[in-house]
């Protein structure tokens, strides 16, 4: 199967710039002049405090049923764009982030116990590549605080919340399973779905859990703890495995009847900064992983596309390769608070160009006899 060789670089969107657009882009440019982690926290505080009002562009009227999609186990979504894990690790600001137009948000990664993460600096921009490198190390306030934060907002939430769970750094790998079970047990009923993160490159040894044997052990343990229920548990994989190892994990995830897979986490790099790279350089890798996964499950296992999505064309490419919906992260950093509306406008243009009326119709179309590309 011929893999994708290039992806569109991000543009400025097709919406007519308004005053609020200009203010949003100016604010984004100002925040990018600060150290990355400082600008992230400042932006989150501005959203949380209400001092930063995100004025929606006049696009909602164009969001008819053609942009709706179904994410199995999560439900019907207004559109396919969600926020990836890592942006709101402690579920502190879901309402503020939701005001930017996301159809759902994945919070975390959260671990059973609070931990400070890796030493700073641990977040780096690669602006010329529209990329980020992070080595955060699952810094978070722990499951108990996460639960309090989520409960405080749950009555005001109008969109689904996913919860991404990980293991504590101090937990030995042979006891990692207990951390995942403990996190899910603590947060049971607070989210629409869980994602088991065994793919971050920033916790020593974590990626070694991406194996057929661990997936089978995880399934057995969760079934025992949750009255056989694992239909709301997704697995997030990394893009750096060999094809055979990757497909072995996908095969186990499929046969054990997990909810689906999130493809992918960041790409491990060592230079110029060690950590996990997201953004444009990840796009091809994550898209190829969708193809590898589809070779195994033949469309039977739901997939969320994540990694290097910076334009409407990128969303289109992920969805025709079988992603039911997508998540962004780095695009929000580089394109600013109106990125969801701009991406939707660009995606709609892609559909119109091909005379496609319903977004749902393109899911997996790459694998049909007449490939859509």
- The one-character DSSP state at 64 is -
224 is catalytic: no
Asked if 104 and 17 count as a contact pair (C-beta separation under 8 A), the reply is no
CA angle, residues 142, 28, 286, in degrees to nearest 5: 60
Alpha-carbon torsion (200, 216, 146, 191), positive or negative: positive
Residue with tokens 């701009």: 342
Asked if 81 and 102 count as a contact pair (C-beta separation under 8 A), the reply is yes
Among 39, 200, 286, 345, the one annotated catalytic: 200
DSSP string, 313-368: HHHHHHHHTTEEEEEESHHHHHH-TTHHHHHHHHHHHHHHHTT---GGGGTTGGGS
Closest CA to 329 of 268, 259, 272, 264: 264
CA angle, residues 159, 162, 163, in degrees to nearest 5: 145
* Radius of gyration of the chain measured on its C-alpha atoms: 19
Beta bridge mates, 263:
237, 305
Q: Which residues are CB-contacts of 361 (< 8 A; sequence separation ≥ 6)?
A: none
Which residues belong to the active site? 200
């Amino acid at each position: 199967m011929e893999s994708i060789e290039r992806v569109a670089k991000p543009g400025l969107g097709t919406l007519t710039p308004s005053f609020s657009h200009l203010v949003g882009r100016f604010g984004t440019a100002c925040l990018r002049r600060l150290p990355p982690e400082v600008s992230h926290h400042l932006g989150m505080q501005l959203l949380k405090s209400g001092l930063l009002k995100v004025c929606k562009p006049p696009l909602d009227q164009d969001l008819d049923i053609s942009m709706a999609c179904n994410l199995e186990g999560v439900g019907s979504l207004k559109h396919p764009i969600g926020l990836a894990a890592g942006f709101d690790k402690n579920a502190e600001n879901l309402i503020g982030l939701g005001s930017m137009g996301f159809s759902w948000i994945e919070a975390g990664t959260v671990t059973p116990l609070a931990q400070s993460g890796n030493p700073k600096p641990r977040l780096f921009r690669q602006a010329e590549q529209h990329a980020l490198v992070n080595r955060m190390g699952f810094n978070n306030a722990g499951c108990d605080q996460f639960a309090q934060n989520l409960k405080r907002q749950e009555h005001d939430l109008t969109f689904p919340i996913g919860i991404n769970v990980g293991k504590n750094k101090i937990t030995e790998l042979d006891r990692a399973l207990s951390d995942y079970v403990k996190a899910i047990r603590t947060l049971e009923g607070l989210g629409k779905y869980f994602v088991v993160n065994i793919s971050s490159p920033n916790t020593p040894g974590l990626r070694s859990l991406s194996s057929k044997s661990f997936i089978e052990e995880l399934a057995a343990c969760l079934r025992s703890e949750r009255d056989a229920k694992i239909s709301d548990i997704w697995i997030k994989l990394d893009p750096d495995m060999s094809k055979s190892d990757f497909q072995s994990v996908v095969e186990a995830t499929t046969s054990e009847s997990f909810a689906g897979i999130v493809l992918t986490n960041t790409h491990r790099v060592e230079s110029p900064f060690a950590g996990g790279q997201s953004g444009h350089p990840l796009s091809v890798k994550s898209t190829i992983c969708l193809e590898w996964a589809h070779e195994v499950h033949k469309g039977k296992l739901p997939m969320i596309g994540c990694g290097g999505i910076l334009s409407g064309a990128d969303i289109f490419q992920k969805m025709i390769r079988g992603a039911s919906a997508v998540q962004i992260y780095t695009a929000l950093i580089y394109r600013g608070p109106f990125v969801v509306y701009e991406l939707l406008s660009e995606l709609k243009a892609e559909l119109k160009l091909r005379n496609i009326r319903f977004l749902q119709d393109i899911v997996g179309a790459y694998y049909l006899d007449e490939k859509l590309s």
